[in-house]
Amino acid sequence: MTDDQQLRVSKIKNGTVIDHIAGGQALNVLAILGIDGGSGDALSVAMNVPSDRLGKKDIVKIEGRELSQAEVDVLSLIAPAASINIVREYDVVEKHRVERPEVVEGVLECPNHNCISTKDEPVESRFAVTDDGVRCEYCETIIRDDLPAHILVE
């Protein structure tokens, strides 16, 4: 392979690299993480890069930010094959694949306006993760599409 054929995305000094995102899903990953480009964090996005495992994959590099477990849990819902690499001083110090949790709490908002979790009650949202989406454990509403639109704003 010649130098002209190689993908070149600069290394990050400190932060997170999310690799093996299904092709075309990087923008959804950014939406789930609340990154809109105006946050000031250096950001690299590669989309539809050839991948032996996925055919085509996306890669997101976020300088200066390590993901919380809650962010990784929600990320796993739209990028179940993703791997998370934590980078410090240009070296990968931690690498793991995302694991879909059985339940996500406090990170999604139920679209059912009559659900107890959307009322002025001291109840944190709670969704069971299923093969075809997420199901509210209070009212049984299922979210299958547009998951980023249901992320709770901190």
Average pLDDT of the chain is 85
* CB 143 within 8 Å of CB 111: yes
* Chain segment 102-137, per-residue pLDDT in tens: 998 888 899 999 999 988 888 999 999 988 889 999
| Domain of residue 69, CATH code | 3.30.70.140
Domain with 109, as residue range(s), is 103-150
Do 116 and 70 have their domain in common? no
Counting beta carbons within 10 angstroms of the beta carbon of residue 42, is it exposed (0 to 12), middle (13 to 18) or buried (19 or more)?
A: middle
Do 30 and 84 have their domain in common? yes
| pLDDT for the residue 38 | 64
Q: Which residue has the higher pLDDT, 23 or 153?
A: 23
* Chain segment 10-47, per-residue pLDDT in tens: 789 999 999 999 888 898 888 888 787 666 668 889 99
Do 31 and 82 have their domain in common? yes
* Chain segment 43-81, per-residue pLDDT in tens: 889 999 888 888 899 999 999 989 888 888 888 888 888
Tally the domains of the chain.
Answer: 2
- Does 4 reside within a domain? no
Do 64 and 109 have their domain in common? no
Do 54 and 128 have their domain in common? no
Do 28 and 84 have their domain in common? yes
Between the alpha carbon of residue 11 and those of residues 21, 35, 43, 95, 113, the distances in Å are 18, 19, 11, 16, 44
| Distance of alpha carbon 22 from alpha carbon 20, whole angstroms | 6
| pLDDT for the residue 6 | 56
| pLDDT for the residue 154 | 53
DSSP-derived secondary structure letter, 153 = P
Give the number of residues written for the chain: 154
> Which pair of tokens denotes residue 82?
């993703």
| pLDDT for the residue 14 | 94
Q: Phi first, then psi: what are they for 52, rounded to 5°?
A: -65, -40
Contacts of 142 by beta carbon, 8 Å cutoff, 6+ apart:
130, 132, 133, 134, 135, 136
pLDDT surpasses 90 at 89:
yes
From the CB of residue 111, how many other CB atoms can be counted at a distance below 10 Å? 15
pLDDT surpasses 90 at 100:
no
Q: What is the pTM of this model?
A: 0.77
Closest CA to 19 of 31, 52, 5: 52
